Amino acid sequence: MTKILVVDDEPTDRMLMATVLGTNPEYEVFEAVDGQDGLNLALKMHPDLIITDVKMPKMNGYQLAMQVRMNPSIANTEMIYYTGIYLDKNEAIREAAHSGIQRILLKPVEPIEMLSQVSQALAAERLRMKLTCPKFIADIDDLIRRASELSKDDRIWDSAVFIRWRKATADLINLMASHGCNLGSGSLTRYYHRLPIAGTVKEESAIFENNLNETIAELSEGKSYFERRLLEA
């Protein structure tokens, strides 16, 4: 199911959007009553698309868009402004551009126009995933291959090699989060820090090996996520 989050403080407008979007059986619609509520829901459910009003209490649409763009786990979410405060659509487009939003729906909107804009926004999201997923999958495979080399029995630990691998892995996990793939990444913070410059330290190798395997499992989970998204695109 395609998850769409509708954010509007007017119950009538929310009901209208939910009704129109509900005509497509592939859409699962969620509703939020203001920007803060919308942000909380977006962080929890990671929608494929957010449609938001502009003028709302607690947090308006501009503030919501900025918070979405600042949060790595939802930063790339497609968004549409749905608003009635502008007299001129060009003015609305200029304002939306400041928040990284390309699509505007002016109230009142015809159902066919709403469905068309939503379809275009979701198509853009699918194209983005088609372009990015293969690169993520290849990078994950490379890191897992390098990790298997690090985990050879009785090797002479080269801390510089490990540190480079750990940084590359942490950077990739953070980047994956910005594309909706949220991993625990706890093992990255639990690595044994007293890695020797040279020599085999058997009493430390079991801890090292366990943490390494945990991160490999997380990377494999991330690979499954992007393979699934690629099939859905």
Six token digits for residue 166:
């750990």
Q: Does domain 2-109 have CATH number 3.40.50.2300?
A: yes
SS (HEC) of the chain: CEEEEEECCCHHHHHHHHHHHCCCCCEEEEEECCHHHHHHHHHHHCCCEEEECCCCCCCCHHHHHHHHHHCCCCCCCEEEEEECCCCCHHHHHHHHHCCCCCEEEECCCCHHHHHHHHHHHHHHHHHHHHHHHHHHHHHHHHHHHHHHHHCCCCCCCCHHHHHHHHHHHHHHHHHHHCCCCCCCCHHHHCCCCCCCCCCCCHHHHHHHHHHHHHHHHHHHHHHHHHHHHHHHC
Backbone angles phi, psi at 111, to 5 degrees: -55, -40
Rounded CA-CA distance 190/212 in Å is 10
Edge-to-edge strand list for the sheet holding 2-7: 27-32, 2-7, 49-52, 78-83, 103-106
Cis peptide leading into residue 47 (ω within 30°): no
Backbone angles phi, psi at 123, to 5 degrees: -65, -40
The mean pLDDT values, 10 residues at a time, for the chain of 233 residues are 94 93 95 96 92 90 90 86 70 72 85 93 85 89 82 56 77 77 52 42 60 80 85 75
- Confidence (pLDDT) at 193: 41
- Confidence (pLDDT) at 42: 94
Angle between helices 159-177 and 111-150 (to 10 degrees): 170
- Confidence (pLDDT) at 157: 53
The number of C-alpha atoms within 13 Å of 103 and in the hemisphere containing its C-beta is 22
- Confidence (pLDDT) at 167: 80
Six token digits for residue 153:
């029995």
Backbone angles phi, psi at 7, to 5 degrees: -120, 115
Compute how many other C-beta atoms are within 10 angstroms of the C-beta atom of residue 201: 14
Q: Name the CA dihedral angle for 18, 19, 24, 26, rounded to a multiple of 10 degrees.
A: 40
* Single-letter amino acid, residue 134: P
